Amino acid sequence: MSAIVKLQDVRKRFGDNEVLRGISLEINPGEVVAIIGASGSGKSTALRCMDHLETIEGGSIEVCGHQLGAGKVDLHQLRRDVGIVFQSYNLFPHLTVRQNIMLALKHVRKLSRGQCLEKANRVLDKVGLGMKADFYPEQLSGGQQQRVAIARSLAMEPQVMLFDEVTSALDPQLTGEVLKVIEDLAAGGMTMILVTHEMAFAQRVADKIVFMHQGLVWETGGPEILSEPRTVELQQFVGTGL
């Protein structure tokens, strides 16, 4: 099975600060991968590079057949193949929940109004928010807004979905509803890469764990590395995390 996401020796710096110091990673279709690590380890940056939100200085990235190194990228197609959900949901405040979801369906996928409506209602039901379709984001709780964000991304039927610390901004009692949606998606076979602090969740749901430290992939393996970490750094990290 060939990898759907492949990073090779990727390097990225912000000014003088080298945030990614040569990371390599392979993700197969249908896999759920959790990237964990301390703040500043480069995990969010790595994720953002996969959707070309950041450009890289060295190495190569291949996502859904797109080459994201130097040279031109077909952003339009890339962004249809890859969906991303952000920590701060980033819903469009001037549109209702349903309109948020329908916007890209109409203008990017060029679906008819009827098709947009049908798809939007379907993904909203999937995340359990059908009854909130005509509400504005501001009227929803954080957990609900995040579920809408996931639905919005999902509606575009991407091949890969990226989740950038999507529960970090939520109150603890609201993370559960979001994690459930993610778990359902995983069970449905979506290829997913999650940057997360939720260790228990990662251990339960992920096929592969990637531990990043100081801009490098420090340790990878199955969920068991969280209970039996091999490197000292992961031991320390997990010791504080779990």
Partner 1 sequence: MDSFSLIQFEYMLKGLGWTIVLSLISFALGTVGGFGVMLARVSRLRPVRLIAALLIQIVQGIPLLVLLFIVFFGVSIFGIDVDPLAAASVALMLYVSAFLGDIWRGSIESVQKTQWEAAECLGLSRWQSMRLVIIPQAVKLSLPSTVGFLVQVVKSTSLASVVGFVELTRAGQIINNSLFQPFLVFALVGLFYFCLCYPLSRWSRAMERKLNVGNR
**Interface positions, 139-168, toward partner 1 (CB under 8 A):** 139, 152-153, 156
Cβ nearer to partner 1, comparing 51 with 219: 51
Pick the closest to residue 146 from 104, 185, 97 (CA basis). Answer: 97
Residue 72, interface with partner 1 (CB under 8 A)?
A: no
Could you give the string, one character per residue 1-40, with x where binding to partner 1 holds by CB under 8 A and - elsewhere? ----------------------------------------
Are the C-beta atoms of 85 and 179 separated by less than 8 Å? no
Residue 51, interface with partner 1 (CB under 8 A)?
A: yes
Smallest separation (angstroms) from partner 1 to the CB of 108: 4
Give the binding range for partner 1 (CB under 8 A) out of 99-107, 185-193, 199-207, 231-239.
Answer: 99-107
Residue 214, interface with partner 1 (CB under 8 A)?
A: no
Q: Is 71 exposed, middle or buried (0-12, 13-18, 19+ CB in 10 A)?
A: exposed
Q: For 88, how many CA atoms within 13 A lie in the half-sphere containing its CB?
A: 3
Residue 104, interface with partner 1 (CB under 8 A)?
A: yes
Residue 191, interface with partner 1 (CB under 8 A)?
A: no
Residue 175, interface with partner 1 (CB under 8 A)?
A: no
Smallest separation (angstroms) from partner 1 to the CB of 81: 9
Give the binding range for partner 1 (CB under 8 A) out of 28-36, 84-92, 181-189, 190-198.
Answer: 84-92
Residue 107, interface with partner 1 (CB under 8 A)?
A: yes
Residue choice 37, 42, 59, 83 for contact with partner 1 (CB under 8 A): 83
Smallest separation (angstroms) from partner 1 to the CB of 151: 12
Output the 3-class SS for the chain.
Answer: CCCCEEEEEEEEEECCEEEEEEEEEEECCCCEEEEEECCCCCHHHHHHHHCCCCCCCEEEEEECCEECCCCCCCHHHHHHHEEEECCCCCCCCCCCHHHHHHHHHHHCCCCCHHHHHHHHHHHHHHCCCHHHCCCCHHHCCHHHHHHHHHHHHHCCCCCEEEEECCCCCCCHHHHHHHHHHHHHHHHCCCEEEEECCCHHHHHHHCCEEEEEECCEEEEEECHHHHCCCCCHHHHHHHHHHC
Residue choice 79, 122, 180, 197 for contact with partner 1 (CB under 8 A): 79
Give the binding range for partner 1 (CB under 8 A) out of 88-96, 124-132, 194-202, 210-218.
Answer: 88-96
| Assigned token pair, 35 | 């990237």
Contact residues toward partner 1 (CB under 8 A) are 51, 53, 75-76, 79-80, 82-84, 86, 88, 90-94, 96, 103-104, 107-109, 136-139, 152-153, 156
